[in-house]
């Protein structure tokens, strides 16, 4: 049966992505698409991934590699604002996303746990906004966290994300829903599913992110996953694809080109951030990973 690709794509993709895609699985490349010319790879690094004992030592090192973003954990962030602002003074580095750090979980079957989560997320959102962060990453619940049945959970989550998204907007940041692989969270596993939740939330303070590590397990096509999220996508995590180490440490498996092509096609403007361990010395493996990412970005 012949598939009308244009109609098929038209139901799921933004106009810009549609114009650029030339068919989702074709090898067609639209060099003239503005996103391909103007989308830059902005690499970020989680604080814990950067080598060094003190924050300034870490920042000096990653800055020397051309990394332009730094991702902090959310726990206690409100007490670190002065320290972080001082360390970033006179540097090109910006705060990318803030990773979790709240208490409880949103789709708990216990309203007290839901409330604890909402309240603690708002504290982190306030701090994230002061630091100019892209958004605060959250997972609705991990597999070991007792939660409402899926249908009730989704309805509750949308209402919670509307409230948190509004609060985030007032603080000039976002909430970032992170889909995880089935080992960690069954509720939301694919970027498209997260994007559909964000579409239903319908608030500019609510967005989705993608993590290559989880995507390796759950997605059929990285590029398609990012195209499906389009303008709803505001952060990306990266790691090696077999062991969640430094990109490149899993050899041939560490290919991100197809996903990078998708990011170019949606004119992605946010960061791609290291969330990974390292088998080797990160003073050596981190520069190698940056090199690999830049090479693959160029090819994409």
Interface ranges with Mg ion (CB under 5 A): 211, 237, 275
The Cα-based distances of 38 to 34, 35, 188, 283 in angstroms read: 6, 5, 31, 30
Q: How many Å apart are CA 206 and CA 193, to the nearest integer?
A: 14
Closest CB 140 distance from Mg ion, rounded Å? 14
Choice between 214 and 261, CB closer to Mg ion: 214
The Cα-based distances of 280 to 51, 256, 293 in angstroms read: 12, 21, 18
Closest CB 48 distance from Mg ion, rounded Å? 13
Q: 273: helix, coil or strand?
A: strand
Query: DSSP code of 100?
Result: -
Closest CB 271 distance from Mg ion, rounded Å? 12
Q: What one-character-per-residue DSSP string does 21-58 give?
A: HSSTTS----TT-HHHHH---EEEEETTTS-SSSHHHH
Closest CB 98 distance from Mg ion, rounded Å? 12
Q: How many Å apart are CA 16 and CA 267, to the nearest integer?
A: 8
Q: 183: helix, coil or strand?
A: coil
Closest CB 154 distance from Mg ion, rounded Å? 21
Closest CB 60 distance from Mg ion, rounded Å? 25
How many C-beta neighbours within 10 Å does residue 115 have?
12
Cβ(36)–Cβ(65) under 8 Å?
no
Q: How many Å apart are CA 191 and CA 195, to the nearest integer?
A: 6
Q: How many Å apart are CA 218 and CA 220, to the nearest integer?
A: 7
Choice between 222 and 275, CB closer to Mg ion: 275
Closest CB 237 distance from Mg ion, rounded Å? 4
Query: DSSP code of 246?
Result: S
Choice between 55 and 137, CB closer to Mg ion: 137
Choice between 237 and 241, CB closer to Mg ion: 237
């Amino acid at each position: 049966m012949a598939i009308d690709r244009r109609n098929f794509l038209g139901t799921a993709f933004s106009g810009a992505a549609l114009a650029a895609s030339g068919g989702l699985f074709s090898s067609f490349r639209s060099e003239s698409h503005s996103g391909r010319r103007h989308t830059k790879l902005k690499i970020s690094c989680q604080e814990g991934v950067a080598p060094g004992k003190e924050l300034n030592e870490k920042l000096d090192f990653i800055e020397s590699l051309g990394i332009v973003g730094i991702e902090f954990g959310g726990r206690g962030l409100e007490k670190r604002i002065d320290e972080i602002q001082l360390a970033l003074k006179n540097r090109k580095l910006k705060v990318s996303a803030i990773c979790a750090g709240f208490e409880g979980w949103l789709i708990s079957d216990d309203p007290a746990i839901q409330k604890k989560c909402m309240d603690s997320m708002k504290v982190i959102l306030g701090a994230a906004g002061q630091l100019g962060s892209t958004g605060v990453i959250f997972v609705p619940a991990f597999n070991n966290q007792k939660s409402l049945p899926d249908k009730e959970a989704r309805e509750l989550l949308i209402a919670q994300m509307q409230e948190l998204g509004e609060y985030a907007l007032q603080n000039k940041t976002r909430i970032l829903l992170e889909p995880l692989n089935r080992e960690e969270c069954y509720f939301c596993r694919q970027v498209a599913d997260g994007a559909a939740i964000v579409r239903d939330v319908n608030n500019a303070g609510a967005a989705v992110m993608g993590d290559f590590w989880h995507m390796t397990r759950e997605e059929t096509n990285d590029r398609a996953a990012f195209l499906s999220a389009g303008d709803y996508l505001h952060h990306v995590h990266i790691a090696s694809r077999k062991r969640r180490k430094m990109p490149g440490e899993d050899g041939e498996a560490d290919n991100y080109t197809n996903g990078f092509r998708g990011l170019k096609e949606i004119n992605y403007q946010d960061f791609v951030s290291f969330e990974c361990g390292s088998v080797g010395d990160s003073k050596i493996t981190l520069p190698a990973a940056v090199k690999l990412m830049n090479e693959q970005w160029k090819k994409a």
